A and B are shown apart, each in its own frame.
Chain A
Amino acid sequence: MQLEKTENSQSINGKYLKGIMSIFLELYATASRGYKIYFRYTAWFIADLITTPIWILVFLLPILMFLPKEQWNNPTTINFFFWAMVMWDIVGAGLWSFGQAIRREQQTGTLEFLFLTNANRIIMFTRSIFTRGLELTIMFAYMVIVFKLLFGVDIILRNILGVIFILTLGLLIAMGFGEIYGALVLRFKNIGPVTNILEFVILGISGIFFPISRLPDQIRLISLLSPFTYIAEMTRYMAMGIETYLDPGFELILMILMAIIFNAIGFVTILYIEKNLKKTGKLGAY
């Protein structure tokens, strides 16, 4: 049995934006909301500025202990670590931006109200990507100063446009990876501790702090499956001219494919989980 359908007001009175304009509107709304919330929690930003050099000290100095002393001022070695710190932020963006963005919506109780709209499910959860982009830029400039002061070496940046392109592509891959992870957060709610473990596993297997050529063969096979391996490899290639494990052209194509595939899988997974939660009635649960 079906009732008589009447034209929805969307089609008749022109008060709505349609098509690509509606996507821009969602992006603008999500970005402005993200920035407003980010800057109103000033402690977050200040904490980031304070903790970055502390991370560098607690993480990098012990590593340097194992290196010959003459390496301590070696620009290549130090730059390797510099880009590793940038990569760390990219990995973090994937896991925290989506996973935790969805978690925060669960905690604030806004999830059901978001799902009452027809807004794009991916864009709704991207707010951290925008602030991450800003954070990354600020951190980048900040780390340049910290590295210069700590180690007295300049940051090598041979192809600035290439680096920007790879980092942007890297953020898109991280976004797709984060969508899949975010879907799991949507389903299983509080998996915060797993995020930390996963972050360090990814950092370990993806050649972030050392080239994957130094990994044992079996682990290297796993690292070749990690999208972050190619982000790290290509960033170092563009910034420092360090050779990639596979052909750089091939790695670039892989990156573009991964950006598409991961985002497509992420989108479908979120829709699937949304449907599943609507069956169980756990959509609004936190």
Chain B
Amino acid sequence: MSTEQSSLSQILPLELIDKCIGSRIWVLLSGDKEFVGTLIGFDDFVNMVLEDVTEYDVDGSETQRKKILLSGNHITMLVPGGEGPKSVAVN
């Protein structure tokens, strides 16, 4: 029934995030809020623990936090590397 041997060695979505543990990550939420920090870990709901965090608000303000537990509820996208919103040219 299962033909796993022949299938491509697929990386599951959460495996990709698991590989990011210990490195910087950029987290985008619905509603234009963004976080950049070092990923300490996460759970099955993608609640995330981040360290040395910069919070980017809708109004452009930035807040620094040492360590946070971010609710997974409104997370839309995770970008490994974590350059943050300033790395992307906005047109």
A, B assembled together: no
Residues of B within 8 A of A (CB): none
Which A residues fall within an 8 A CB radius of B? none
